[in-house]
Structure 1
């Protein structure tokens, strides 16, 4: 089941965290906007009643929450470091605003100086706030205002939302330092490891199925049986090495298919939180072959095996070179990154959505192809000709299916495209999956 986590901070940063958290299929986020420490504490106490962990946007709110001593769940904050300063300094540099020097708070002098050095801006005059680590917003505003009025600062950089707002009202040039995506990812990983649900599932059995795509075709072009047997042994050896990393057990179940067992905690760690299958890249680079992979979670080994077979079928239906995960609640995760990188995965596709698609006449094969194509290209709108080509059917059949899917509430007409002759072409949007984009 998904683990509920609370996200708290200014609206713009919470939106960023919501975007990043979509690459964590285990999380079910609940977000609250909070611009002040008081609002952050109030939001934390509210979310803490149902969430297993909280992630706050900055250290001051986290400190205030810890001092309140009212929270019963783990709470983490996204740290600010030099990486969050790069984008803001670069933007100010392009705008020609660094000539008068810069003033920085929320970071150490070493972090700020290193960032300037990395950007080749060592000559820029730098002043860093050296007061208390958790200074109030009023003190930080006074620091920046004093430097600006003395002509010692052309632009201010702050990591505190309230300070940025107040400096803006004073018409003083200011840039808000926001955490990088990597900073948010690291914090979310820490939060995930702290949850009771995550710890209780670490020893859960995971069943995986590996299948070599178009193996029979590759076998036919081998010059001899000896070469074919060598290929099988090489692939088997690579699969063994990968499963060894998972502390798992591997057994072949055919000339081109393997079955393995591991535990959920190890599998999550080795896949980077269900993001990538490095074995596929190794097989592709060594032999020019791709893999279809199905992973199954379940409360029993039998249930996990059934889910693994279902996930493998979806990977093959998507055209191969894909990996899907079917979890114990039958939600679908995928595709994971394979040899041909898919830069993102879809958020978990709920089992009810899958049933809705099937009831509206969308076969599992069509759904698998759509999920894979949408994850790769972030595309949710199609012309009928594009859809026919993607699904490998005629335009007439595509029109018929679209009619069924519109009646079933899966698809809407999103727009019309004008053409030189004839009626405008309709553009269809798969509304039931559009919410799964990153």
Structure 2
């Protein structure tokens, strides 16, 4: 079976996209018609498990899917290059005798329009251009107001819904549709992406497990036979689990185990590295506080080193945390936890800040990731400590170092409790 390609388009281009895609033997195509924004999400939700890649007829449905945020498969949209616009302008200029500056445009960038205008030896003005900002209604208003006030005589739009609405309002409109070559370019990109993913899924992945307080020696004393039986029990559970991820198990010391597998297998069982595997063996071991570091690498050695680094980061959190160290030097975790963040281990930007503040690159990256997650640059030491799973005084030291070196400002204070000490609010400027 080929790559299961889901094609989402509107009625004036879906048939063309399906026809071009059918020329590729690598794809097994499923066509989905959408007429409203809500249709896009309904289609994605209903067919997520039946499709390997998604192809959208344009940027608008692609953006809807991206903002929905629940699509885990690769997504592509057909771009509207100059050739698509030339075809539309031919009808407007030569068959309808319109002047270029009598037209309003949407969705193109100023540079794209400028290039087309220059090639046609026509002066360019961006006053009649509106970029797509997530609302077809705003595009309709843009074209209608220009036409109503006599500034333009017709609209050129890339959005099918905008074209339909303007026609209802009596505005002359020309719809830009994708060319066959643009569709072919996007399909070729999808094929290259699939090849990359196949290679990526075959990367070496290593899981390094550490059983915290393996035998509970602080509370109980065990005979050598009892300790041996406990080790055997843990090993048997991990052997069963390792078969589920097509891996091999190695014991590397008391309470520490390593499983060698592939990125694809671990990505599947962890939901693309977002959750702890929902399997019985891991649930049983979690009762003994199992901490895990996952490392990805081009070689077994690199993956094992990265797994060790991930384990160290996991141990910074409460027992039982799972962290992933990817081959692009980013760290993700704790898996399945609300405080989960993604931060980098190497960055020129963070390195420069690190040298001035003496904070580690990882710490600075964590702070930046947390700010991105909460969607603001203002934070207290108490909030930062909660996200980092550290004491507020430790978080305050981090913020004070940023403050001292010009990467933060004190902007206010808050008193969460009537008798409590006021908390400083910092604006972090990374």
TM-score norm. by structure 1 comes to: 0.49
Aligned to 1:327: 326
Tell me the secondary structure at the aligned position of residue 267 of structure 1: helix
The counterpart of 1:402, out of the listed 380, 399, 402, is 399
Tell me the secondary structure at the aligned position of residue 201 of structure 1: helix
- In structure 1, C-alpha distance between the alignment counterparts of 2:325 and 2:300, rounded to whole Å: 13
Q: In the alignment, does 2:260 pair up with 1:221?
A: no
Aligned to 2:232: 233
The count of corresponding residues between Structure 1 and Structure 2 is: 280
Offset at 1:258? 0.5
Tell me the secondary structure at the aligned position of residue 215 of structure 1: coil
Structure of greater Rg: 2
The answer (yes or no) to whether the contact 2:343–2:366 under 8 Å persists in 1 is: no
The answer (yes or no) to whether the contact 2:342–2:369 under 8 Å persists in 1 is: no
- In structure 2, C-alpha distance between the alignment counterparts of 1:399 and 1:393, rounded to whole Å: 9
The answer (yes or no) to whether the contact 1:373–1:379 under 8 Å persists in 2 is: no
The answer (yes or no) to whether the contact 2:344–2:365 under 8 Å persists in 1 is: no
Instruction: Quickly say closer, same or farther: Cα 1:239–1:364, change in 2 above 3 A.
Output: farther
State how 1:95-174 maps to structure 2 within 5 Å.
161-162=161-162
Offset at 1:384? 2.9
Instruction: Quickly say closer, same or farther: Cα 1:213–1:357, change in 2 above 3 A.
Output: farther
- In structure 2, C-alpha distance between the alignment counterparts of 1:277 and 1:388, rounded to whole Å: 23
- In structure 1, C-alpha distance between the alignment counterparts of 2:229 and 2:365, rounded to whole Å: 33
Moved more, 233-242 or 272-281: 272-281
Aligned to 1:305: 304
Instruction: Quickly say closer, same or farther: Cα 1:215–1:19, change in 2 above 3 A.
Output: farther
Instruction: Quickly say closer, same or farther: Cα 1:370–1:251, change in 2 above 3 A.
Output: farther
Greater relative contact order: 1 or 2 (C-alpha under 8 angstroms, separation 6 or more)? 1
Offset at 1:345? 4.6
Aligned to 2:101: none
The answer (yes or no) to whether the contact 1:294–1:325 under 8 Å persists in 2 is: yes
Aligned to 1:41: 80
Offset at 1:294? 1.3
The answer (yes or no) to whether the contact 2:241–2:281 under 8 Å persists in 1 is: no
- In structure 1, C-alpha distance between the alignment counterparts of 2:288 and 2:403, rounded to whole Å: 38
Offset at 1:210? 0.9
Instruction: Quickly say closer, same or farther: Cα 1:201–1:399, change in 2 above 3 A.
Output: closer
- In structure 2, C-alpha distance between the alignment counterparts of 1:375 and 1:286, rounded to whole Å: 33
Q: In the alignment, does 2:198 pair up with 1:199?
A: yes
- In structure 2, C-alpha distance between the alignment counterparts of 1:323 and 1:391, rounded to whole Å: 14
Offset at 1:286? 5.9
- In structure 2, C-alpha distance between the alignment counterparts of 1:44 and 1:325, rounded to whole Å: 44
Aligned to 1:362: 359
Instruction: Quickly say closer, same or farther: Cα 1:426–1:9, change in 2 above 3 A.
Output: farther
Give ranges in structure 1 of 5+ residues lacking alignment.
Answer: 47-159, 171-190, 433-438
Cα deviations by residue, 1:100-147 (Å, 9 ceiling, x for unpaired): xxxxxxxxxxxxxxxxxxxxxxxxxxxxxxxxxxxxxxxxxxxxxxxx
Aligned to 2:247: 248
RMSD: 4.9
Offset at 1:8? 7.4
Tell me the secondary structure at the aligned position of residue 66 of structure 2: helix
The answer (yes or no) to whether the contact 1:8–1:44 under 8 Å persists in 2 is: no
Instruction: Quickly say closer, same or farther: Cα 1:231–1:430, change in 2 above 3 A.
Output: farther
TM-score norm. by structure 2 comes to: 0.50
Tell me the secondary structure at the aligned position of residue 351 of structure 1: coil
- In structure 1, C-alpha distance between the alignment counterparts of 2:263 and 2:339, rounded to whole Å: 21
Aligned to 1:150: none
- In structure 1, C-alpha distance between the alignment counterparts of 2:345 and 2:55, rounded to whole Å: 21
Cα deviations by residue, 1:28-73 (Å, 9 ceiling, x for unpaired): x9x98xxxx9xx5349999xxxxxxxxxxxxxxxxxxxxxxxxxxx
